[in-house]
């Protein structure tokens, strides 16, 4: 695959062509995922659950994220590498600069932080210094204790309107990508239309510019009950590379996610 850049992704958005994001945490899977045509590899702090067996993402450290980002960078074949900044590693703008730099030096091409308009200052400082940002909005798992559980966000008109305003504000501050988790499909569509930067969705319906899933979820090996937005792509595939290729094809065609994976 040719090297994927922010320019590639905005060309997709302008052309109305969907792109695909998938998590990976090690060199071997980074190789398989990028070879299957996934444009963006997310080194997610979901590794707290998936690799470490924690019950939330809160225990994940900067050292964990640096280690896994460096591993992914070794195996990657041209995808864009997005690295999550872990819980409380971006509480102040100064801390954000320092920790974002460490992830970029480990091999990330863009960093992701969770929140809304309060991140504007950090987003603009990072952007001025040459570090692109993805802002993760809606259900932000690092705030699970404040949110009172893993619940759909933006269900009432007030919070929906606020989310659209915040998205526009973050774009103005210099955010390069937005990610919406667990928001009603219609709201995700409105946010996607309100900004020129690409919007990635998970549990956000089919209208966003891209989709993301946790690798182990879509391979059907995460223990316990899966969230509604997950589809097991191993059910119709002979091997892991084919399952990932089928995911890429389904996203490009708009056949995933279906209404059964979305919130109305
Ligand atoms: O950590 C992660 O895997 C994520 C995705 C679920 C969006 O943030
Ligand atoms: Na995450």
| Chain segment 130-180, per-residue pLDDT in tens | 999 999 999 999 999 999 999 999 999 999 999 999 999 999 999 999 999
Complex ipTM above 0.90?
yes
Q: Tell me the β-bridge partners of 134.
A: 112, 177
Residues 6+ apart with CB under 8 A from 38: 20, 21, 22, 79, 244, 247, 248
Cα separation, 239 vs 243, whole angstroms: 6
Mutation to probe ligand 1, out of 181, 210, 211 (largest number of atoms < 8 A from CB): 181
Q: What is the pLDDT of residues 188-231, one digit of tens each?
A: 999 999 999 999 999 999 999 999 999 999 999 999 999 999 99
Is any atom of ligand 1 closer than 6 Å to the C-beta of 48? no
Fold exhibited by the domain 6-261: TIM Barrel (3.20.20)
Residue 163 CA, chain-centre distance (Å), reads 17
Res. 1: pLDDT tops 90: no
Alpha helices in the chain (DSSP H): 6-15, 27-35, 47-50, 62-75, 93-106, 120-128, 144-147, 157-173, 185-194, 215-218, 240-253
pLDDT in tens, 78-89: 999 999 999 999
Distance 213 CA to ligand 1 centre (A): 7
Cα separation, 149 vs 96, whole angstroms: 26
- List the domain boundaries for the chain: 6-261
């Amino acid at each position: 695959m040719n090297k994927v850049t922010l320019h590639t992704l905005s060309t997709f958005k302008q052309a109305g062509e969907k792109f695909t994001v998938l998590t990976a945490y090690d060199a071997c899977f980074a190789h398989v995922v990028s070879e299957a045509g996934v444009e963006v590899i997310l080194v997610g702090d979901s590794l707290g659950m998936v690799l470490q067996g924690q019950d939330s993402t809160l225990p994940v450290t900067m050292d964990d994220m640096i280690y896994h980002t460096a591993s992914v960078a070794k195996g990657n074949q041209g995808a864009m590498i997005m690295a999550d900044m872990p819980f409380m590693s971006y509480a102040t703008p100064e801390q954000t600069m320092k920790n974002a730099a460490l992830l970029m030096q480990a091999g990330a091409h863009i960093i992701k932080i969770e929140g809304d308009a309060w991140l504007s200052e950090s987003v603009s400082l990072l952007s001025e210094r040459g570090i692109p940002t993805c802002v993760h909005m809606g259900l932000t798992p690092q705030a699970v204790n404040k949110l009172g559980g893993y619940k759909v966000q933006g269900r009432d008109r007030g919070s929906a309107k606020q989310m659209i305003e915040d998205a526009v504000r973050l774009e103005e501050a210099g955010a390069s990508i937005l990610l919406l988790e667990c928001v009603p499909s219609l709201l995700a569509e409105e946010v996607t239309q309100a900004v020129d930067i690409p919007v990635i969705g998970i549990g956000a319906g089919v209208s966003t510019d891209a989709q993301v899933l946790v690798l182990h979820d879509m391979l059907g090996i995460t223990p316990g009950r899966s969230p509604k937005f997950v589809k097991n792509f191993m059910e119709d595939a002979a091997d892991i590379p084919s399952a990932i290729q089928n995911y890429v094809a389904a996203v490009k065609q708009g056949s995933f996610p279906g209404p059964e994976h979305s919130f109305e």
